[in-house]
Structure 1
Amino acid sequence: MIKLKAIFITVIYCTLFLTPHVNAKPSVTSFEKPFLEDGYKSVGEAIRECETVNQRELHLPIKFPPIEFTHHLGRCVNDNQNYNDELQIEYLHETQSKNHFKIDVRPLEQRINFENSKRDRKKLRLNDGSDALYFSTNPSGLRRGFNILVFEKNGWQYLLAVDSRMEDQVTVEELIGIANSLR
């Protein structure tokens, strides 16, 4: 009986004092810090927040560009005047700045009309028969900016944007495939 107590006390001691403690909060890198200070959080938290604010379910595409990302961050922008509510998601790579993909989602009632833009636009068709608009924000083709696909689905306007320096890897067809993966 005494040996059993000694073993029990030894196990408790080892568990409490010799086991390394795990921090409940992961450390924040200098890369993440400005995003977190600007209200970004996990994508799941941001989606749940936007669903609550807008009182409707929100889905993301299940397909992503064939490029590597190290960080996935999101934030729900809740405009008090109910004009610019938006879910903003950033897929980033800490050391490869060109590996940048964004998804912005806003309620259709607050949609942005890109039809009247002065940019060159291509009207495309998604698998479900809905229209999509493709354009680039590159100033004079300098490969600085984003290639963008905008479409509407399930009461939301989606804007998919990829860094234009990745246009050889993430083509307009790839963006269409991502849009078509949204259910």
Structure 2
Amino acid sequence: MKRAYLVYLLIFSFFTANIYVHATDNTQTDIPPFEKPYLEIGFKSVEEALKECEIHNQRELHLPIKLPPVQFTHHLGRCIKDKNNHNDELNIEYLHEAHGEYHYMIDIRPIEQRINITKFKRNKKLYKLSDGSHAIYFTTKRILYGGGSMFNGGFNILVFEKNGWQYWLAIDTRIENQVTADILVEIAESVISDE
């Protein structure tokens, strides 16, 4: 009887230990599958990425207060720290899990590492911001293949400089009727000025 009890106890402890190990080893069970590929390439919460970039660049960074008037289910950020200080950047992605066209991005880099957009051969429109600076608006168009069908895609982009940073606001062209150039300008205006 004692032997049967010991065998039962060993088998029971083996199965419960196995269950416990599996439950505690899988630390990413609360991560939504939609976010997993982003987290694997270094995205994290916007707040964490912002703080990381402020520390790396040793200066304060203000995000726009306003967002496009569409719903997003996820927002993630990552701080890219180039070891040669040529391509430091804060990337923020606003996404909707069920609507791929609801895609808004903010890329911010130190002014010393700005991208010279005057060399791009695109139709550009110039906007004057309330602080007297200018913003440049342009569209990138490309053909995307999705699910066997073809559709036009790309981003409407507004680039401006403020507080020692270059900002790129980009919205998917498929919702350009909901998020116009004027709305992107309003979002740019919502960045708090250090002055």
* TM-score relative to the length of structure 1: 0.84
Large movers: runs of 4+ above 2 Å: none
Q: Which amino acid aligns with 2:71?
A: E
| Aligned alpha-carbon RMSD (Å) | 1.5
Count of aligned residue pairs for this structure pair: 159
Mapping of 1:29-178 within 5 angstroms? 29-139=32-142, 143-178=152-187
Structure 2: state its 5+ residue gaps.
1-26, 144-150
Tell me how far apart the structure 1 counterparts of residues 51 and 171 of structure 2 sit (CA, whole Å): 24
The offset of 1:63, in angstroms, is 0.5
The offset of 1:113, in angstroms, is 0.4
- SS at 1:138's partner residue? strand
Tell me how far apart the structure 2 counterparts of residues 139 and 94 of structure 1 sit (CA, whole Å): 22
Tell me how far apart the structure 2 counterparts of residues 63 and 32 of structure 1 sit (CA, whole Å): 23
* Residues 15-56 of structure 1, C-alpha deviations (whole Å, 9 max, x = no match): xxxxxxxxx977012110000000000000000000000000
> Higher strand share goes to which structure?
2
The offset of 1:115, in angstroms, is 1.1
Tell me how far apart the structure 1 counterparts of residues 160 and 152 of structure 2 sit (CA, whole Å): 23
Between the aligned residues of both structures, percent identity stands at 59
Tell me how far apart the structure 1 counterparts of residues 29 and 131 of structure 2 sit (CA, whole Å): 42
- SS at 1:179's partner residue? helix
